[in-house]
Structure 1
Amino acid sequence: MSMRRTTTTRRAMTAVTLTAALALALAGCGDDGGDEPGNEGSSAPSAPASPSAEDKGDSQQEDTAAGENVDPGAKLAEARGQSGLTLVINQVKRDSGGFVTVQGEIKNGGSSTQNTSNWVGQESALVAKNPNSVAGATLVDKGGKKNYYVLRDTDGRCLCTTAIVPLSPGESASVFMQFPAPPAETTEVDFTLPTFATTSLKISG
């Protein structure tokens, strides 16, 4: 039986912080200029805005976790990773606040313990603020030729699962990521997470 390891839910997020995070992420949604979406040539998100006075008072990394009311038995998509890792997507939901939440589970089906540090990507700002997270995930709207990156608050912390410990054989971790929502007419996107294969997702809601 898989052991689930989840981080605790961030206790509060003010409307100002969420609005700032959404505006920041929308600024980072890059037009790939006609290149194949999802490749390394896609534009990177803009650097995070300077933290507000309120945010500066809270410099400690806060853990975040997947939301509630997600059916762990649902399997909307699956992406294979390295060394026996598998990512199963359980929910892809468009929310009224103007963002899309992706939730799933990463399981180690291999024979050795797997590090989780590569899933944050290579952007230095993300690595510094969100170690051992899934902040490197991206949604790719091939029709609109845009990439959508994980939302961040004004202190550069992702709206995603962080502090994921190494996974021993047979163990799993529940994860979530929030992105700015593509246009309403976009109902299908490609999902990428570093070290995992790209998979197609249908957006509900």
Structure 2
Amino acid sequence: MSIRYVRSMRRTGAAALLIGALTFSAAACGGGDKDDGGNKAPSRSSAESEAGDKKPSRESEADPDSSKVLATVKGGMGVDMVIRTAERDQGGFLTLTGELRNTSGSRVVTPVEWSGKEEAVVATGPSLAAMTLVDSQAKKRYYVLRDTNDRPLTTTNYDSGIDAGASLPFFAQFPAPAPTTSEVSVQFPGFSSATIEISG
């Protein structure tokens, strides 16, 4: 029997043994699913999905609650900022929703000042990262939160202009002020300061 033949037989035997072991492992892993009683730990993807629910949904910027109005602030370009909700959640965030409404008779170009001056934020494209909240009671100012890639947690990459009679829905997420704070002032370039009431 040649050495080449022996080596070939060894490789064939090893492959067969490996396939058998994998088949047994797959059967052993799959057999416990029927009787786990619903106690199976959530997968990484589902856990991450649940964690992601605490972040503002992009749906909130597309469909603000039109039944509420906390404040309406007129801007100098014929654009009104309508703030509809300011909700505090258990994750320690405060999320604003609303819309920027063009009440003029012509298209308005959105100012670059709305995006803020930080280089990391400017790199993400048009945004509302320049919006801030002021808690006069605690004498604190809050800025739009950033994700791990320095992208602002607010409406981004919107059109460079708002047509006459059209609106730009928005959301912006901030750190939540202390539970004792019930009101904050919203400040945004081109608009007067507006005091709004926090819910939640």
**Alignment TM class, shorter chain as reference:** 0.5 to 0.7
Scaled by the length of structure 1, the TM-score of the pair is: 0.66
The change in CA–CA distance for 1:136 and 1:13 in structure 2 (over 3 A counts) is farther
Root-mean-square deviation (Å): 2.4
Letter in 1 for 2:69: K
Correspondent of 2:109 among 107, 115, 121: 115
Distance 2:59 2:155 in 1: 5
Scaled by the length of structure 2, the TM-score of the pair is: 0.67
Matched, 1:103 2:115: no
Residue matched to 1:197 = 192
Distance 2:58 2:190 in 1: 22
Residue matched to 2:181 = 186
Deviating beyond 3 angstroms after TM superposition, the runs of 4 or more aligned structure 1 residues are: 12-16, 67-70
Letter in 1 for 2:118: E
Distance 2:123 2:136 in 1: 30
Counterpart secondary structure, 2:60: coil
- Which protein has the larger Cα radius of gyration, Structure 1 or Structure 2? 2
Distance 1:163 1:127 in 2: 11
Q: Which structure 1 segments of 5+ residues have no match?
A: 1-11, 20-62
Q: Aligned residues: percent identity?
A: 40
* Contact kept? 1:93, 1:204, Cα under 8 Å: yes
Q: Which structure 2 segments of 5+ residues have no match?
A: 1-47
Count the aligned residue pairs. Answer: 149
When you count helix as a share of all residues, which structure comes out higher? 2
Matched, 1:139 2:133: yes
Higher relative contact order (CA 8 A, sep 6+): 1
The change in CA–CA distance for 1:122 and 1:68 in structure 2 (over 3 A counts) is closer
